[in-house]
Amino acid sequence: MSRIARLSDVLINKIAAGEVVERPASVVKELVENAIDAGAGTIRVELDGGGVDRIIVSDDGHGMGRTDAVACLERHATSKLRELDDLFHIDSMGFRGEAIPAIASVSRFTLHSAATNSEVGTRVSVEGGGPPLVEDAPPRTGTVITVEDLFFNVPARRKFLRRGDTELKHAEEAVVRLALAYPEVGFFASHEGGALFSSAACPDDPRERIAAALGSTAHPHLFPVEERRLGVAVTGYAASPEFTFNNARGLYTFVNRRYIRDRGLIGTIQRAYQDFLAAGRQPVVVLHIDVDPRAVDVNVHPQKQEVRFADARGVQEAVTAALSRMLRAAPWLGSGVEGAAPQAGQPMDAAHYAHAVERFLTRAQEAAWGGPLPTAMDAPGPGPGTPSLGALGQGARPGALPFAAAVGQAPAFGQAQPQLNEAPPPGYFGALRPLGMLGGRFHVCEGPGGTLVVMDPHAALERARLTGYLRALESGKPPPAPTLFGTSLELPVAAAKALVEGREALSRLGFDVEPFGGTTVALKTVPPGLEGADARSLLEALARALPPKSATLDTVSLAEAVRVMACHAAKQAGAVPLSDAQFRALLGELDRADFHPTCSHGTVVVLEMPLLELERRAR
């Protein structure tokens, strides 16, 4: 007697169902895909009991006449593939002719359909893959399929269905994925009569669909992305870094309109955003990758969720290029820059942006110096002609990269070396395009060739003032227009003594200080720029900085005092954020100043990140 017998079709279908039908969501997916393949304009999905009790999918597509309505229940019956060659350029969602028989083998299945303009429709009912009951039914537009009691005849499977609304969530997600892939089709889904997802066809603005899926607050943050290369088109929408989720649920990728979850592709997207997002945040991106159907194999995964690209690298590069262009254009800065008030509904999330740039600079620095960040305490002190790696701000933050200018000769950002830092070309600062403030403190500008330029206004002011005071001293003339000040202060003995003894030095610098009895001094005039300075701390600092009585008074012996003046002048000017006009005036001053990459405390005045480097890091 023969040992081998052919399995019955019912059994074969049930086995196939094990692969195709995992849960209610898989049924929803297969039936909605069929509706899309049938050219539906509107698809309705009604669920009961999380989809386990009932799934009804109705469409207004081309429908089926009686013959097809019966044939579609046979395994490997499909209208979508005819020849082997077709398998290599699939342009429909379905192609195996497996879904309907598989679903019908594990449920109570009813199909009601009619061919377009037919006067009679057909109803086919199947219980657990048994013989179909075929009958005439009223004509209708399109098809409606009802799947009840999923896995009623496969208890092992039914047992594995999740409780609560887990199955419902999966089913809803199946609808959302298809809805995002097909914005030109209207989708309406409900559960036990209550709306789950509704979105009318929106062929003109797919952002409406994304907003329906991810929340209406996403809409204003979505920006189009596009990159077309030979053989691959990347299109879609990506949210600016201010709209993020704490998980990857806002990441949707479609290949030839098929939802896929490919780890490589997701990784590529995450890398494009990594310098812009805070730790633990995930971007929101709905990306469509369209390639020649011959250049992608969609037949590598039972649920068709993975694909194999002929040119995976090319696809990855196109995705990176599309996203980095959008991120580089920084459209979300939009109304937030140049002092304009943010528009309603489009708040500029300064904190997010500040964080992004900070991360970006931190990474750049780590790359440049090949190690962890030096702390403010590690920062070397200032030394004449020694551009130092100092804190961006007075001891407030770890270090940052010094300026590497001389556009055209500048080393790549990641290779900046202290000895290569040099003064920028003439007119560099005046040509910067201010973009706005960062963290309420730094000024961010666009530099030549799209470089990112971050300036510490305090350090810049100090650098500019230092030049002004030094030039005045060098000229030997008294500083212009000293300001009448007129205040008297009681100071510590040593300070009062040093100031009185240093009166000549002080007068060279533009101060008029007179003894006023005891340890009190009268400060009568101050050089320009120090009118609003805190007189006590200024005088105490000057007392420490003045040269000894015996010293010759020249720019060398007075350098420390000039530094104190510049520092106090900058502190005073920088106490409130600079207005646009003040910042522009400062840029002009910097062009005239003897530029040095750090202020006298070693604080970096300006940081530059070349566009090329930005692009490289954005990959």
Chain positions contacting Mg ion, by CB under 5 A? 34, 94, 99
Q: Does 96 bind ligand ATP (CB under 6 A)?
A: yes
Q: Backbone phi, then psi, for 319, in 5-degree steps?
A: -65, -45
Q: Which entry of Mg ion, ligand ATP, none binds 80, CB below 5 to 8 A by partner kind?
A: ligand ATP
Q: What type of residue is 406?
A: A
Least Å distance, CB 68 to ligand ATP, is 6
Residue nearer to Mg ion on the CB measure, 81 or 134:
81
Q: Which residues pair with 134 in a beta bridge?
A: 124
Q: Does 100 bind ligand ATP (CB under 6 A)?
A: yes
Q: Which entry of ligand ATP, Mg ion, none binds 64, CB below 5 to 8 A by partner kind?
A: ligand ATP
519, 473 Cβ separation under 8 angstroms:
no
* H or E segment to which residue 572 belongs: helix 559-573
Q: Which of 41, 65, 97, 293 binds ligand ATP (CB under 6 A)?
A: 97
Q: Which entry of Mg ion, ligand ATP, none binds 38, CB below 5 to 8 A by partner kind?
A: ligand ATP
Q: Does 465 bind ligand ATP (CB under 6 A)?
A: no
Q: Which of 13, 16, 26, 59 binds ligand ATP (CB under 6 A)?
A: 59
Residue nearer to ligand ATP on the CB measure, 144 or 567:
144
The span of 77-85, 284-292, 433-441, 520-528 binding ligand ATP (CB under 6 A) equals 77-85
In three-state secondary structure terms, 507 is helix
Helices 312-328 and 263-273 meet at what angle, rounded to 10? 30
How many residues touch ligand ATP (CB under 6 A)?
23
60, 206 Cβ separation under 8 angstroms:
no
- Taking the C-alpha atoms of residue 522 and residue 551, their distance in angstroms, rounded to an integer, is 24
* H or E segment to which residue 142 belongs: none
Q: Backbone phi, then psi, for 515, in 5-degree steps?
A: -65, 145
For residues 419-440, one letter each, b for 16 or more C-beta atoms within 10 angstroms of the residue's C-beta and e for the rest, the string is: eebeebeeebbeebebbbbbee
Q: Does 63 bind ligand ATP (CB under 6 A)?
A: yes
The span of 92-100, 467-475, 516-524, 585-593 binding ligand ATP (CB under 6 A) equals 92-100
Least Å distance, CB 94 to Mg ion, is 3
Q: Backbone phi, then psi, for 473, in 5-degree steps?
A: -65, -45
Least Å distance, CB 62 to ligand ATP, is 6
DSSP 293: G
The span of 72-80, 152-160, 566-574, 580-588 binding ligand ATP (CB under 6 A) equals 72-80
Q: Does 241 bind ligand ATP (CB under 6 A)?
A: no
DSSP-H helix ranges across 482-557: 493-501, 503-509, 535-545
Task: Identify each DSSP E strand in 396-450 by its residue range.
Answer: 433-438, 442-446
Residue nearer to ligand ATP on the CB measure, 68 or 560:
68
Q: Does 64 bind ligand ATP (CB under 6 A)?
A: yes
Q: Does 143 bind ligand ATP (CB under 6 A)?
A: yes
Q: Which of 99, 114, 392, 523 binds ligand ATP (CB under 6 A)?
A: 99
The span of 58-66, 233-241, 283-291, 531-539 binding ligand ATP (CB under 6 A) equals 58-66
Q: Does 29 bind ligand ATP (CB under 6 A)?
A: no
* Strand 308-309 relative to strand 452-455, pairing: unpaired
Least Å distance, CB 262 to ligand ATP, is 19
In three-state secondary structure terms, 515 is strand
Q: Which entry of ligand ATP, Mg ion, none binds 95, CB below 5 to 8 A by partner kind?
A: ligand ATP
Q: What type of residue is 12?
A: I
Q: Does 121 bind ligand ATP (CB under 6 A)?
A: no
DSSP string, 236-286: EEEE-TTS-BSSGGGEEEEETTEEE--HHHHHHHHHHHTTTS-TT-B--EE
- Taking the C-alpha atoms of residue 99 and residue 104, their distance in angstroms, rounded to an integer, is 8
Residue nearer to ligand ATP on the CB measure, 19 or 135:
19
**Residues at the interface with ligand ATP (CB under 6 A):** 30, 34-35, 38, 59, 61-64, 68, 72, 77-80, 94-100, 143
